[in-house]
Chains A and B, each alone.
Chain A
Amino acid sequence: MTYLNITEVDSAVTSLATAYPATSELIDLPEPSVEGRAGHALRIGATPAGTHDCAVLIGGVHAREWGSCEILVHFAADLLEAYEAGTGLVYGGTSFTGDQVRKILDELELVVFPLVNPDGRLYSQTVDPMWRKNRDPAQSGGDPDRIGVDINRNYDFLFDFRTAFDPAAAPRVSDDPSDLVYQGPRPFSEPETRNVRWLLDAYPRTRWFIDVHSYSEDMLTVWGDDENQSLDSAQNFLNHVFDHRRGVPGDAYAEYLPKSDADDSKVLAEQFCTGVQGVRGRAYTPMSGFQLYPTCGTSDDYAYSRHRADEHKGKILGFTVEWGDQRGGFHPPWPQMERDVLDVDAGLVQFCVSTLV
C-alpha cells in the first residue's frame, strides 16, 4: 500500500458506492475544482437519505496533508465492509462490536468527502510537496508564487479579519495572495469551498462536522477566533460592538458558546481522543481551535456559526482533527501513516458511536 493519488481517491469513493449499493450512495459535488476536476462524496447509511441526523466528514483540504484522504477512505471502507459482514472493527487496542457498527449505519447518516482540493493534492504529490492551497491563479497576476487560496480560510466566518480582530491578535490568515494562508478575495470565492457549503445545505440534518487536517495530535472544537465563554451571549461574532477586540487571550472579550454546546463538543472531542488512545497509546488533546492559534474563515467555525447567522439553519457542532505528530510532519513514511490511519479511524468510529448515546 502507498499513498493514494487523486485518481485513486475518487476511484475509491466510486468503488465503495458500487460495491455497497444498499448502504452507500455516490454524491456528485456540484462544482468542479479550479482546474476542472469533478469531486465526489459518499453517503453512508442503511436508511434513506434524511432519515437520521448526519455527520459530514471532509479531508484533503490542505494539499500537503496527504494522509487525510486515506484516513477517510479507510474509515468509510471499514464501516461498509464490517456492516455487510456483520462483524465488529478492531483497531489495535480499540474495538467496536458488530452491534455498534450496525447502530452507526442504521441510526446515523454519514457523508464522507475525502478530497476537497484535488488540484492542490496533485501539485503537492507531483511538483511541490509543501503546497498547501488550491491552484486558483485568479489573484496571482501571473506570478506563480501568488497562486492559490487557502480553502480553510475561505469560509464566511469573520472573513473581514482586519475589522474583526484586535490589531495585536495577528490571526493566522492573510489578504496577500502570496501568503500560505491567503483567504481569497471574498468568502466562498473558491469552488472547493462552495462544494463543502453545498453538502451542509444538501444534508440539512447535519449535526456534526469534522475536517481532517495535520499535524499536532489534537481534536479541535470551536471557536478559533478567541477563547470560549458561556456567560455573556452579547460577546459573539455577529456583534460589531466587539470589532477590533477579538483574538487576544486573557482580555475582556471571549466568544460566546452556550454551555450545552460547549459540553457536548467537549464530550465528543474527548471520546474521539479516547478512541485514538486505545489503539496504541497516542494521546491526542481535545481543545478549542483558538488554543492552536487564532484564525477565521475556517470550516469548523463556519459550520457551527451557520445557525447563529441564520436561524433557519440547523445547529452543527464543528471539529477539526489534527492527526500525526512531529516525527512524521506532513508526509510520514507510509508505514507510519498506516498507524496514524488506524489511530484516527478508531477515534472517528468512537465519535460516531458517541453521537448515538
Chain B
Amino acid sequence: MSSTSQPVLRVRVTAQDAETLRALLRDARPDVGGRPRRADDGSCSIEAYATAEQATALEREGVSVTTIENATATGRARQAEVGKGDRFAPADAVPHGLAVKA
C-alpha cells in the first residue's frame, strides 16, 4: 500500500478468524499499528492506517472496517504539542528525567 498525501484514517480491521486476517494482511498489505488482538468469539482485529479509499478496499467477506479517527488530523493537532525553539540552549538548561530522585 503506497504512502499518500490524502488524509489517513486510523481504522480497526476485524476479521472473523485469524486466517482471514492473515490473508488480508498478506494480500492488501495495509499500514498497521500494533499487533492483532483475538476476541473471545474467535475474531481477530488490528489497527490499520489508510485513506478512505484504501479503507473501503479492505472490506470483504468476513472482514469489517471501522473508522476510529482521522489520524492525519489528530497528528496535525498534536504538532502543536511540539516544542518551539530550543529549551536546552541556555548554558544551565539540562534535561531532567521524569523519575523521582529519592
A residues at B contact (CB < 8 Å): 2-5, 7-8, 11-12, 14-16, 18-19, 64, 66, 73-79, 81-82, 85, 87-91, 95, 124-126, 128-133, 144-145, 148, 168, 170, 172, 174, 176, 178-180, 215-216, 218, 291-293, 322, 325-326, 329-331, 333-334, 338, 341-342, 345-346
Contact = CB atoms under 8 A, between A and B. Distances in A.
Interface string B30-45: 0111110000000000
A8 B5 contact: no
Nearest first, the 10 closest Cβ-Cβ pairs linking A and B are: A129-B75, A78-B97, A170-B26, A216-B34, A11-B88, A90-B100, A77-B97, A331-B78, A74-B97, A87-B101
A12 B90 CA distance: 11
B81 A333 contact: yes
B82 A216 contact: no
Given A77-B96, A144-B5, A216-B34, A170 B29 contact: yes
Nearest to A220: B35
Contacts of B8: 130
Interface in B71-102: 71-72, 74-76, 78-79, 81-89, 93-102
Contacts of B102: 87-88, 90, 95
B33 A330 contact: yes
Interface centre among B3, B71, B72, B81 (most CB of A within 10 A): B3
Contacts of B83: 2-5, 8
Given A2-B83, A5-B83, A215-B34, A15 B94 contact: yes
B89 to A, nearest CB: 6
A85 B102 CA distance: 9
B8 to A, nearest CB: 5
A15 B93 contact: yes
Contact of A73 (B33, B85, B95): B95
B95 A130 contact: no
Interface of B: 1-5, 8, 10, 25-27, 29, 31-35, 47, 49, 69, 71-72, 74-76, 78-79, 81-89, 93-102
A326 B47 contact: yes
Given A89-B100, A170-B25, A331 B74 contact: yes
14 contacts: A19-B94, A77-B96, A125-B79, A125-B82, A145-B5, A218-B35, A293-B25, A322-B35, A326-B34, A329-B10, A329-B74, A330-B75, A345-B98, A346-B99
A128 B33 contact: no
Contact of A5 (B10, B78, B82): B82
Nearest to A178: B2
B82 A2 contact: yes
Nearest to B47: A326
Contact of B2 (A7, A18, A133, A145): A145
Contacts of B10: 329
Contacts of A131: 3
Contacts of B81: 2-3, 333-334
Contact of A145 (B4, B47, B76): B4
Contacts of A2: 81-83
A84 to B, nearest CB: 10
A322 B35 CA distance: 10
B79 to A, nearest CB: 6
A215 B82 CA distance: 19
Given A168-B26, A179-B1, A331 B75 contact: yes
Contacts of B96: 77, 81
Given A2-B82, A326-B47, A331-B75, A78 B33 contact: no
